[in-house]
Amino acid sequence: MGDLESRGSWKNRGAPPPPPPHSNYYTSSSPYYAESSEKQWTSWLVPMIVVANVAMFIVIMIVNDCPKNHNSSLEGNCVARFLGRLSFQPLKENPLFGPSSSTLEKLGALEWKKVVNENEAWRLVSCIWLHAGVIHLLANMLSLVFIGIRLEQQFGFARVGVIYLLSGIGGSILSTLFIKNNISVGASGALFGLLGAMLSELLTNWTIYANKAAALITLVIIILINLAVGILPHVDNFAHIGGFLTGFLLGFVLLIRPQFAWQERRHLPVEARGKSKYTLFQYAFWFLSMLLLIAGYAFFIALDEM
């Protein structure tokens, strides 16, 4: 499975993989951003998220305690038994070197019945911080570092943090609506949200980019490659799409920048600037995106209460 949104008795959802041989690949290459004199933020949130995910995975494995809770006579021995209670489930049960599905479910994996029928909406958030195994965790965190640090340096921790969390929830919501028979964990919705935000940031801040066509084509190709992974067996693309759409809309709202003509004249007296700070289409995108985001979350809440 690697870094994929997957389904199955233990199968889980994760994020797009790092560079080949895996096909899900995020990059933070400079063509996505226009060079400017704007403040460069110090990235600390993304490293903290990485640390939190690693710490959470250790907690998961301690709770899992394969040597104590697993019946080796039925499915084989735990993997890496020298790790003690941190050892992994048999590879036939979990090929990603991780815990059992029951452990993930206990600690907050996304499950339709529990979210809808038992009102455990907190699972929409908790599942983002759980991982199916070491391979899953590494692939997710590499993807996050590739795209998250660059975005945080450009736009700061607050905006990137909001996009990451709300996109993860958006991915969980769409999965809950369409995937009803399997549990799910992983941060792919949040990671796809950052990728979607990169695209909307490019579109809404179009005037400040030097190599517009190259940046757009490169980013669209990466997005298509990532979404194409959803065609593979055991891969759930609903979390990918839900996270991507949420991040795409949030990018129009949170990552808006002044147009190039305004930046060129911003040091002149007000009467000499002649250009508004934002263009009409930036305001239109902002309003429409806010409307769609509110409508989407309201629709899910209403559906959940029916």
The pLDDT of residue 158 is above 80: yes
Inter-CA distances, 3 with 82, 94, 103, Å: 26, 14, 19
Phi first, then psi: what are they for 217, rounded to 5°?
-65, -45
Average pLDDT over residues 177-199: 89
How far apart are the two ends of the chain, measured CA to CA in Å?
Answer: 35
Residue 28 has pLDDT above 50, yes or no: no
Percent of the chain with pLDDT over 90: 40
Residue-wise pLDDT tens digits, 65-99:
998 888 776 677 899 899 999 999 998 888 889 99
Q: 264-276 pLDDT, tens per residue? A: 666 656 555 556 7
Q: What is the pLDDT of residue 232?
A: 57
d(CA 42, CA 75): 48
Q: What is the pLDDT of residue 270?
A: 58
d(CA 148, CA 144): 5
pTM for the predicted model, two decimal places: 0.81
Average pLDDT, the chain: 80
Chain centre distance of CA 195:
8
Mean pLDDT of 164-178: 92
| Active site members | 188, 240
